[in-house]
Structure 1
Amino acid sequence: MLLSPVVFLSIMTKWQYLSWALCAVIFVQFQDVQLALPNQSAGEFTVLSLNNGNGASSEQIRTLVAQLQPDVVFMQESKPERVGQIFDDSWFSHCDHLCTVSRTPIEHQGSLSRETFGGWGKFAVFYQTQIGDTTLQLANIHMDTPRPTINALIHRSVAAEEFANLHFARNMQASLLASWAKQQANFIAAGDFNMTTYENIYQRHLAELNNAIDIAGSGVNYTKYTSWHGARIDHLLASKHFEVTRAMVLESMGGDHRPITVSLNLR
């Protein structure tokens, strides 16, 4: 039996809608898009994290801090001089290759060094602060970048030993952070992880931790753009005692990373 033109067009339209819907789902998954809508609630604890490297403007960051009114700010590729340009004397701050600034007093708990893996500087710096009756553990993160290996692969000049050493270092850094997190009742770890949530190292060590952007982000959330791609490599991880009420990737402050801000409530 032949279908009438009206029925045929109706069926075609239905399948077109289904095809478009499927394409949209695939696009959203591939582009690292979150669709959760942020909730507003009283008594939130707000965090700002940003990598200050490659031209970030202190004036723009100061304006952003005034707008967001964060409780804690994690800064990577920063120095005490930069902190002094942005924050007044009402803030508490500490720099140990990475700079952490807080509205409440922070106690330096130690750090993890890249020197263990033949590098330089710190990839994790730990603090403790008191929020009301809650003792909160903080970690400022800046893990090794895979960029040298990627560039070597592009130019077909990668050395097997160099590749193995970098992979080992990044794997151990993620493993040590995960081990620290498992020992804490209430923690927030934020910064430049230099890996996406899809990377095997992240999946192996960090996937079980709550990622704020995954939970409450909305839209495309790339934090790093290059001339040929974008990726979300800056993250905020928190213990399960926290309810993430808002998570956003913000506009660039002039550098090559975009800041992230997250608001949380302690359950």
Structure 2
Amino acid sequence: MRKLSFINKIIYLVNVVAAILLLFSFALPFLPPKTFSLLSVLNLGVSFLILINLLFFLYWLIKLKRQLFLSCLVLLIGYISFGSLYKFSSSKVIENPNNIRVMNYNVRLFNLYNWIPEKQVESKIVDFIKEEKPEILSIQEYHPHENIDLSFFKYKYEKLSGKKTKYGQAIFSQFPIVNSGSIEFPKTGNNAVFADVVKGADTIRVYNIHLESLHINADVETLKNEDSERLFNRIGATFTMQQFQTELFLKHKEKCSYKMIVCGDFNNTAFSYVYRKIKGDLNDTFREAGSGFGRTYDFKFFPVRIDFIFSDEAFAVNGFKTFNDRYSDHYPIMATLSLDD
């Protein structure tokens, strides 16, 4: 430290703060938001902290300074605990006659209020789904738009709410749905729905979860003008509500004996408490077969993955893709799974 220039001493102090914050954030998945609501806000910045620490590591490496070991150690701890933020695996699908393509997509009401200044966005979403041909489709913020025709799916279950504008979650399937229902979340328009689909001799439980939204505007100027204390308090309260909603889901899930697929928009990252609890013993299909950052939300500052497809360990994960088609504030994802005899 003594041999560092004044500027490098300042840089190293910032490095120490970033390393401590990142190290602390690794414990957050184990801390319930009800008890640590404000601290859980760090969940949203873990990807950013990883990238910052990586830049510090590269900076000290170029300078040939031993200070590189600080960020190197913290990044190593994160890699051992959570895996790599960036996946280098191949995105090629393993062909299997038993493959099932499962897509998850928050469609943001099919652009009902013209958030994207483009014509016929709703029709482009439908055309995209037709082209990709998922056998199971899980949609959040579904709205029965007059221009929407998803009748190429043979079966569906939807649960809608709202007085003027109907919206909610929906599951579409090419396989028969023999049972379905909704897990109601109090004091919100969000919920979780499920459908039991039959493929061959197997009955598969498909969940579609939409946890409480953060209501954060991705626009830079809007965030600059937001009162930071109010923003932190609101996010903390949202994470507390997400924990309660997760507990309702887990109680319902415990009663199911079928092999299952869990899809959804968790409005939280893979470094969060709710992610860890919902995932449980299931496989995160992105981690099994995805590539890149796996970004699922259109956030301008850094890549954010808040939409997930989990599968029972009985399924082989034969492929995963994150699409770049921007027809919503979320990007669609699709997992290719097989349930071999």
Measured at CA, do residues 103 and 31 of structure 1 come closer, stay the same or move farther in structure 2, by a change above 3 Å? same
Structure 2: distance between partners of 1:90 and 1:146: 31
Q: Mind listing any 5+ residue stretches in structure 1 that lack a counterpart?
A: 1-14
> How do 1:1-150 and structure 2 match up within 5 A?
32-37=85-90, 38=92, 39-53=94-108, 54=111, 55=115, 57-81=121-145, 85-88=148-151, 91-96=154-159, 97-114=168-185, 116=186, 118-119=187-188, 121-147=189-215
Structure 2: distance between partners of 1:113 and 1:122: 8
Structure 2: distance between partners of 1:249 and 1:163: 26
The answer to whether the Cα contact below 8 Å between 1:137 and 1:188 also exists between their aligned partners in 2 is yes
The structure with the greater share of residues assigned to strand is 1
Instruction: Report the Cα offset of residue 152 of structure 1.
Output: 11
One-letter amino acid of the counterpart of residue 50, structure 1: Y
The answer to whether the Cα contact below 8 Å between 1:143 and 1:170 also exists between their aligned partners in 2 is yes
Structure 2: distance between partners of 1:245 and 1:107: 26
Structure 1: distance between partners of 2:320 and 2:84: 17
TM-superposition CA deviations, 1:181-217 (whole Å, max 9, x none):
4433311111211111111332345353211111110
The answer to whether the Cα contact below 8 Å between 1:112 and 1:122 also exists between their aligned partners in 2 is no
When the two structures are superposed, what TM-score results if normalisation uses the length of structure 2? 0.62
Structure 2: distance between partners of 1:159 and 1:65: 35
TM-superposition CA deviations, 1:125-178 (whole Å, max 9, x none):
011110010001111111112346x96996134399866643332112223334
The answer to whether the Cα contact below 8 Å between 1:197 and 1:207 also exists between their aligned partners in 2 is no
Structure 2: distance between partners of 1:258 and 1:135: 29
Q: Mind listing any 5+ residue stretches in structure 2 that lack a counterpart?
A: 1-63, 160-167
Query: Is 1:156 aligned with 2:228?
Result: yes
The answer to whether the Cα contact below 8 Å between 1:209 and 1:238 also exists between their aligned partners in 2 is yes
Question: Percent same amino acid among aligned pairs?
Answer: 21
The answer to whether the Cα contact below 8 Å between 1:80 and 1:95 also exists between their aligned partners in 2 is no
Cα root mean square deviation, aligned: 3.5
Aligned length: 244
Instruction: Report the Cα offset of residue 251 of structure 1.
Output: 1.4
Q: Tell me the SS of whatever aligns to 2:128.
A: helix
When the two structures are superposed, what TM-score results if normalisation uses the length of structure 1? 0.77
